[in-house]
Structure 1
Amino acid sequence: MRTKSRALGTGLAVALLTAATVLAGAPASAQPAACNGYVGLTFDDGPSNGNTPNLLNALRQNGLRATMFNEGQYAASFPAQVRAEVSAGMWVGNHSYTHPHLTQESQAQVDSEISRTQQAIASAGGGTPRLFRPPYGETNGTVQAVESKYGLRQIIWDVDSQDWNGASVDAIVAANNRLTNGQIILMHEWPANTIAAIPRIAQTLASKNLCAGMISPQTGRAVAPS
């Protein structure tokens, strides 16, 4: 009887664990059996107390990792969220301090925007960024010279989700569906439709055997996480 009870108890525990995993939305369900390529999911303009936790929860629940291009002013204001990004397995990049049009700034101003963000992110526990995304994707020789000074790789994007322009959930998912191996998509942490699209993004990538990877500081392309 004792052996039978133990077996019944074990079976019940397994059943409960399985049910709990299903209810929690286990990320493995959205993952491909094998990664035939990697794409770079990127989210600009964080961190914040209002949006970052929701985005990180959605990404974690669906087994996705991403690069968070943080503004220095927000990293300084919300350091706990920078640490939360790292704890959730995300990578943190530099997106300038105040999001200006850098091509209209002097070299000293560009240097201040980039260097202060490097410091703010490092001070918040996000490490020293190796990737830089210029606001609006605007760049020139001055911006690139300052990037090089700080050992940063400039990252633009291959696909624009248009979430900043009011894109629907369907449109954001469709944009992600256009990604191919090595490519990078632009998204933002603040549109509600972007967070709502995360589960379907995970399913779309899995159906193509694509995995969410890191962005290589050497090549600027999405690669397998190291």
Structure 2
Amino acid sequence: MSTGPRRSPRRSVHRLAVVATALMSAVPLTLTAATAAPERAAACTGYVGLTFDDGPSTSTQSLLTALRQNGLRATMFNQGQYAAANPALVRAQVTAGMWVANHSYTHPHLTQLSQAQIDSEISRTQAAIASAGGGTPKLFRPPYGETNATVKAVAARHGLTEIIWNVDSQDWNGASTDAIVQAAARLTNGQVILMHDWSANARAALPRIAQGLSARGLCAGAISPQTGRAVAPG
């Protein structure tokens, strides 16, 4: 008496072969997923600080897109007046994984100002960035890289570490995309490069900057408030 449809021996063998093949193919996939993360971490033998001054601006969204597409993070030294006028862009910087820092309120020559004026430039920017959702900055870059003992002292009173740069991309001076890529190639572990939020050439250089850093085992990192050097993101 038959109790159900008969299964042909040939069909049973075929089904077992399919199951065995599927199990065997799953093993390397599992190993690959398990080892991928450590391999990526091991690729970073050092860190550099990519920095962009003078934002946020009409170029900020395009810059953030380019950074994310190339797996890069950067420190955005924002002017307070622009942070106050464009709070959504400050939040976009944070959402994109960038670090937001202080670049004065109106970008003056701070060394030519009184202590009270310097304090106003720095404190108003701290407030503008915080109000926009950028957190309380820990890093400060004086406009033009101009500083003195008074500027440093005022910044320190606001809990800020002054950050200049090791490599100047010269994007502000009309440097070509090729020249900016070459400038980034000079970066070594812990160093910081100056670029600008509004520079189309700096933005266009990002894919090649990312490739060049990767080839040298360097990754884009955070800037330590303790040392002023680029370090692994916390």
TM range (shorter): 0.7 to 0.9
In percent, how many aligned pairs have the same letter? 77
Which of 182, 187, 197 matches 1:189?
Answer: 197
Counterpart contact for 1:67–1:214, Cα < 8 Å: yes
Matching residue of 1:165: 173
Q: Distance in 2 between matches of 1:127 and 1:105?
A: 27
Q: 1:32 to 1:206 in 2, by over 3 A?
A: farther
**Corresponding position of 2:184:** 176
TM-score (norm 2): 0.82
For 1:47, the equivalent position in structure 2 comes to 56
1:5-154 equivalences under 5 Å are 34-48=43-57, 50-154=58-162
Q: Distance in 2 between matches of 1:36 and 1:148?
A: 31
Deviations 1:76-130 (A, max 9, x none): 0000000000000000000000000000000000000000000000000000000
Which secondary structure does the structure 2 equivalent of 1:197 belong to? helix
Moved over 4 A (4+): none
1:32 and 1:207 in contact (8 A); partners too: no
Amino acid at match of 1:202: A
What residue in structure 2 maps to residue 12 of structure 1? Answer: none
Amino acid at match of 2:49: G
Matched residue SS, 1:43: strand
Quote how far apart the aligned CAs of 1:33 are.
5.6
Amino acid across the alignment from 1:96: S
Deviations along 1:144-176, one digit per CA (max 9) or x if unpaired, are 110111010000000000000000000000000
Other-structure match for 1:22: none
Contact 1:32–1:206 (Cα < 8 Å) also in 2 = no
**SS of structure 1 residue aligned to 2:194:** strand
Q: Which residue of 2 aligns with 1:16?
A: none
Shift of 1:58: 0.1
In structure 1, how many angstroms separate the alpha carbons of the residues matched to 2:198 and 2:92?
16
Cα distance in 1 for partners of 2:200, 2:161 equals 29
Give the length in aligned residue pairs: 198
